[in-house]
Amino acid sequence: MARALISVTDKSGVVDFAQRLVSLGFDILSTGGTAKALREAGIAVTDVADITGFPEMLDGRVKTLHPMVHGGILGDRRLESHLTQMDQAGIVGIDLVCVNLYAFEKTVTGDHDLDEAIESIDIGGPAMVRAAAKNFHNVTIVVDPADYDRVGDALSAGSINALRMELSAAAFRHTAYYDSVIARYLSEAAGVDPLSGTVTMGVRKQLAMRYGENPHQVAGLYVDPLAKNGIAQAEQLWGKELSYNNLLDADGAWELVMDLVPNSCAIIKHGNPCGAAEMGSMAESYSAAKSSDPISAFGGIAAFHGVIDLAAAEAMTQPNNFLEVVIGLGFTNEAIEVFKNRKGWGQNVRLLVASASPTESYLTVRSIRGGVLIQGSDEDPGHEWQVVTKRQPSDNELAAMKLAWRMIPHVKSNAIVLTDDRQLLGVGAGQMNRVQSVRLALEQAGETAPRCALGSDAFFPFPDSIETAAAAGVKAVIQPGGSVKDDEVIARADELGITMVLTGTRHFRH
């Protein structure tokens, strides 16, 4: 008679699965809470302790780590030598292993201490899963309750052999993910350099997508269980399914607006801000942000630093507006109803509630063919600023510089922004030379340029950008410095009556 060993933390569906296995002629072996749940459902169960001759011990740390269990799982019944050794040792084969693991992830993402985390590390479970997955020619391994019906159907149809390699691969993904979470948790707890040696990062599928950046590309959203909350963990309240590009731009908008003050708004289009403002209310901030570049804002993603209220929703849903995604720390019921009742795009706009982004650095990962690049996120280290020109900035100019410097990390290099003390008025993004980015930003700012501070993500290699800005009336510049021609650039700023601040920090974004 076939034997199945069932020992699960997630008990959803396990009683029905066990009953189906019994109906197919399986004897059931089990442990602890799983055995109790099955017996309470009227299923006959043999305790693993009855076949090992040892009770559970060490507070449950040792249950299944025994040759009578692992010999039954690992024995290759295609080999006469294995069958002989199993017979001599009195080991009976186990044909199906149904195991999922202690909820380590749940423990460490809630309130806990280190001892609780350690006791949530499963040892016997992964050992059985890996043993069964290795021996998939003889043993069926099931780690996901979503597979119970499929496995039951295959067993009933006599086609389980065709499914076993796929289940084996799923099992190894299951244990690899589990171990990656433990490794990262303990590494962080021990203060280990996250980029020393091997980097493990398990992610779990959160959202299936119709396609990626383009219709011919496959894609999905995968969530890091140990990451701080961001757009990946946002709750969607309304609208169509999110796309790959929606999420990229939503992330950019959210990261920017979290660097701005409460009630602010940021609008992103194709990875760059086309508007941002810090006004007295979210409705005013949206209107000001949109006014910076209304053509680009059409079809953009708007993020708000606060709970989106009725007035903000009404401002966004005015005629000639269109937004793909709206993000906030929350929405009032009245605001949600405004979108729901808006004809046309209001039926599709994605409304997302996200948590405030933490300020500490995190690892960012980018793929290149054959590998990945990993670095810490771009969090400004707060170096002391230096006024390097003869003229000191006025209070308004300094306020505009501060706003420009909070916005510049969110613009693709070569990046130039023009801001007054409350809003973004010009952007030059992604150009191959810096002076061209200056020209684009000035063109967008138009006649507002004279009241703006100009921010640059990196140094000016020549005075030409300063000369171009001065010709448009710009009188304040903030930049990292670090060029071999800094002295020449500063001297030209003095000649043109420009006040200049060096921050000592570069903010490239590629």
In whole angstroms, give the CA distance from residue 416 to residue 456: 5
User: Pick from 167, 190, 213: which residue ends a domain?
Assistant: 190
- Which is nearest to 233 in space by CA: 204, 206, 271, 200? 206
3-state secondary structure of 192: coil
322 within some domain: yes
If you average pLDDT over residues 101-127, what whole number do you get?
A: 85
Co-location of 43 and 171 in the same domain: yes
Token pair of 113 as six digits: 């201490």
The pLDDT, as a whole number, for residue 115 is 84
Q: Which residues touch 74 (CB under 8 Å, ≥6 apart)?
A: 131, 134, 135
Residue 121, pLDDT score: 87
Is the confidence at residue 110, as pLDDT, over 90? no
- Domain count for the chain: 3
CA proximity to 478, closest of 506, 450, 451: 506
- Contact status, residue 364 vs residue 375, Cβ threshold 8 Å: yes
Of residues 236 and 226, which shows the higher confidence score? 236
Q: Is the pLDDT of residue 101 over 70?
A: yes
Give the C-alpha separation, 426 to 418, whole Å: 5
Asked whether residue 417 is assigned to any structural domain, the reply reads: yes
Where does 329-399 show beta strands of DSSP type E?
Answer: 330-331, 350-353, 363-368, 371-376, 386-387
Cα-trace Rg, the chain? 30
Q: Which two tokens stand for residue 323?
A: 């937004």
Q: pLDDT band for 47, please (50, 70, 90 cuts).
A: confident
| C-alpha–C-alpha distance, residues 288 and 264, integer Å | 10
- Residue 66: beta bridge partners? none
Can you give the pLDDT at residue 59? Answer: 62
Mean of the pLDDT values across residues 207-224? 94
Q: What is the mean pLDDT of residues 284-293?
A: 96
Distance CA 275, CA 112 (A): 42
Residues 349 and 390 occupy one common structural domain: no
Angle value at C-alpha 392, between 502 and 434, nearest 5 degrees: 40
Cα dist. 89→50, 83, 85, 92, 474 in Å?
Answer: 16, 10, 6, 9, 87
C-alpha 263: how far from its chain's center? 25
Q: What is the pLDDT of residue 146?
A: 93
3-state secondary structure of 141: strand
Predicted confidence at residue 164, as pLDDT, reads 94
Do 131 and 62 belong to one domain?
Answer: yes
Residue 348 and residue 432 share a domain: no
> Which range, 66-75, 117-126, 299-308, has the best average confidence (pLDDT)?
299-308
Residue 54: per-residue pLDDT: 66
User: What's 291's DSSP letter?
Assistant: H
Residue 199 lies inside a defined structural domain of this protein: no
Interval 290-308 mean pLDDT: 96
CATH number at residue 413: 3.40.140.20
Query: What is the Cα–Cα distance from 500 to 398, expressed in whole angstroms?
Result: 10
Domain assignment present for 269: yes
Q: Do 348 and 404 sit in the same domain of this protein?
A: no
Contact 68, 128 (CB under 8 A): no
Residue 507 falls within a domain, yes or no?
A: no
pLDDT band at 51 (very low <50, low <70, confident <90, very high): confident
Task: Identify whether the C-beta of residue 62 lies closer than 8 Å to the C-beta of residue 56.
Answer: yes
Assigned token pair, 483:
């060029």
Q: Which residues pair with 476 in a beta bridge?
A: 453, 499
Cβ proximity of 338 and 315 under 8 Å? no
Asked if 14 and 38 touch (Cβ cutoff 8 Å), the reply is yes
Q: Each residue of 122-145: pLDDT tens digit?
A: 888 898 899 999 999 999 999 999
Q: Which residue has the higher pLDDT, 467 or 53?
A: 467
As beta bridge partners, residue 506 has: none
3-class SS of residue 18: helix
Considering the domain architecture, whether residues 173 and 307 belong to the same structural domain is answered as no
Q: Are residues 129 and 258 in the same domain?
A: no
Q: Is residue 459 part of a domain?
A: yes
pTM listed for this prediction: 0.89
Give residue 196's Cα distance to chain centre: 22
Write the burial class of residue 83 (CB in 10 Å: 0-12 exposed, 13-18 middle, 19+ buried). Answer: middle
- Domain membership of residue 198 (yes or no) is no
Model pLDDT, residue 461: 95
User: Active-site residues: which are they?
Assistant: 134, 270
Poorest-pLDDT segment among 115-119, 425-429, 453-457:
115-119
Give a yes or no: residue 89 inside a domain: yes
Q: DSSP state, 283?
A: H
Q: Can you tell me whether residue 199 is helix, strand or coil?
A: coil
Which of 156, 190, 224 is a domain's end point? Answer: 190
Query: Which phi-psi region, left, alpha or beta, contains residue 137 (left: φ > 0; alpha: ψ -120 to 50)?
Result: alpha
Q: Which residue has the tokens 């396990």?
A: 14
As a whole number of angstroms, the distance between CA 16 and CA 22 comes to 10
Asked whether residue 393 falls in the same domain as residue 345, the answer is no
CA–CA distance, 375 with 363 (Å, rounded to integer): 6
**CA distance linking residue 388 with residue 502, whole number of Å:** 7
- The C-alpha angle 337, 291, 342, rounded to 5 degrees, equals 20
10 and 129 housed in the same domain: yes
Calculate the CA 433 to chain-centre distance: 32
- Confidence grade of residue 58 (pLDDT, cut at 50, 70, 90): low
Same domain, 63 and 132: yes
Same-domain check for residues 7 and 140: yes
Question: The domain that contains 12 carries what CATH number?
Answer: 3.40.50.1380
Give the domain range for residue 138: 2-190
pLDDT per residue as tens digits for the range 375-415: 989 999 989 999 999 999 999 999 999 999 999 999 999 99
| Residue 151 and residue 76 share a domain | yes
Average pLDDT over residues 295-305: 96
Q: Residue 501 pairs with which residues in a beta bridge? A: 387, 478
Indicate the residue among 190, 217, 246 that finishes a domain. 190
Average pLDDT of every residue of the chain? 92
